[in-house]
Amino acid sequence: MAMTARLVDVAEAAGVSVKTVSNVVHKSPHVRPGTRARVEQVIKELDYQPNRAARQLKAGRTGFIALALPEIKTPYFAELTSRISERAKKEELVALLELTGADPVMENRVLTRLGRGVVDGIVFSPLTLTAKEISDHPTSVPMVLLGERATPPNHDHVAVRSVDAARRMTEHLIEVGCQRIAAIGHVPNQGTASTRLAGYRQALKAADIPFDDDLVVGVSTYSRSAGFDAMNSLLGLAKKPDAVFCFNDTMAIGAIRACHEAGVKVPQDIAIAGFDNTEEGVYSTPTLTTIAPDLDALADKTLTILVQRIGQSSSNANQSGTSVPVPWHLVIRESTGGPTIHP
């Protein structure tokens, strides 16, 4: 079995000191170009792999970050987990998944346990904690918040501007001729629901369409079954809606199924739209109109900020946070009268 090359082996083969090899590995500027080239060539020939774990321990780091999410059963969070994990690998970090179940006790544990330094940093998408509750539990490690809740000013935050996106989706439904537009996904005091409801209401007001409480259906989860049940309740109204904006794609898929079982045609009788641009909507029948957040940009912006904070050894206790918006765009497909299109 071939022996693993060591730092001293590279130094001997290149005819330089161990310190010089270390400087090349750590990209120190204090190495002559010719020497650097020679050492890099030997590193390649010997397939030398720097002991990154040892360097991390020496720096007081673990090489792990926590990714704390409500759940991964819905396609959006599953895709988000994949994108962030892949981006973490590029930074030589391992993302450990923590599922909170949108439980305030579990969300508090993210701050009180993981925030004590078990990991090098935290990516956290809270659904129940208020800005004050997050601020009252400063972590000892850097943390980047995801999602659309109010965020303390001293915390880094990456999110889609859901108010704008939801307004644009509702405007689209108005543009295709709908006037009685329902919304599925209301959850009191929940960031995602509140921002998307706000955008929906803004669009109705701008178009002089009266807001109707009967057309806003609350849910306990953002699941297919919740969308299915909510759609059935809307179909039971004496005056049915001519469009439904579901606050995520998963509920929209359930709503489409309810219409199919009731003999209601989409979009001929009722237009249906979602939010998240998950793969399900690309292959549903009909294909689903949706808002597409740029998940690659979200993962990149999140890890860029977190890695920078880790390098600064900066927690969220004494810093000015940065709020970074994530790009999004409207994708028009068959469920609102558009064409069949794929990503």
pLDDT in tens, 13-56: 999 988 898 888 877 778 889 999 999 999 888 888 766 545 55
Report phi then psi at 106, rounded to 5: -70, -35
User: Do residues 191 and 228 share a domain?
Assistant: yes
* pLDDT, average across residues 245-253: 97
Which residue, 212, 270, 222, 279, is CA-closest to 246? 222
CA–CA gap between residue 229 and residue 254 (Å, rounded): 8
Which residue, 219, 229, 247, 250, is CA-closest to 75? 250
pLDDT(1) > 50: no
The answer to whether residues 273 and 245 touch, using CB atoms and an 8 Å cutoff, is yes
* Coil, helix or strand at residue 315: coil
Tens-place pLDDT, residues 258-314: 999 999 999 999 999 999 999 999 999 999 999 999 999 999 999 999 999 988 765
Q: Which residue has the higher pLDDT, 292 or 340?
A: 292
User: Do residues 250 and 264 share a domain?
Assistant: yes
Q: Which residue has the higher pLDDT, 248 or 44?
A: 248
User: Do residues 167 and 187 share a domain?
Assistant: yes
CA–CA gap between residue 298 and residue 301 (Å, rounded): 5
Residue 32 lies in a domain: yes
User: Do residues 155 and 302 share a domain?
Assistant: yes
pLDDT(318) > 80: no
- Which uninterrupted H or E stretch holds 192? helix 191-206
User: Do residues 100 and 68 share a domain?
Assistant: yes
User: Do residues 107 and 15 share a domain?
Assistant: no
Q: How many domains does the chain have?
A: 3
Q: Domain holding 35: CATH number?
A: 1.10.260.40
User: Do residues 271 and 299 share a domain?
Assistant: no
Distances (CA, A) of 59 to 31, 56, 62: 23, 5, 9
User: Do residues 140 and 215 share a domain?
Assistant: no
User: Do residues 169 and 282 share a domain?
Assistant: yes
Residue 115 lies in a domain: yes
Residue 240 lies in a domain: yes
Which residue, 80, 13, 65, is CA-closest to 40? 13
Per-residue b or e along 203-222, where b marks 16 or more CB atoms closer than 10 Å to that residue's CB: bbeeeebeeeeebbbebebb
Q: Which residue has the higher pLDDT, 124 or 58?
A: 124
Residue 28 lies in a domain: yes
The answer to pTM > 0.85 is no
219 DSSP assignment: -
Q: Domain holding 94: CATH number?
A: 3.40.50.2300
Residue 2 lies in a domain: no
Which residue, 80, 93, 81, 102, is CA-closest to 141? 93
Residue 1 lies in a domain: no
CA–CA gap between residue 327 and residue 98 (Å, rounded): 26
* pLDDT, average across residues 136-148: 87
CA–CA gap between residue 123 and residue 143 (Å, rounded): 6
User: Do residues 279 and 323 share a domain?
Assistant: no
pLDDT over 70 for what percent of the chain?
A: 92
pLDDT at 312: 78
User: Do residues 180 and 197 share a domain?
Assistant: yes
User: Do residues 124 and 242 share a domain?
Assistant: no
Residue 57 lies in a domain: no
Residue 318 lies in a domain: yes
pLDDT(80) > 50: yes
Q: Which domain holds residue 27?
A: 7-50
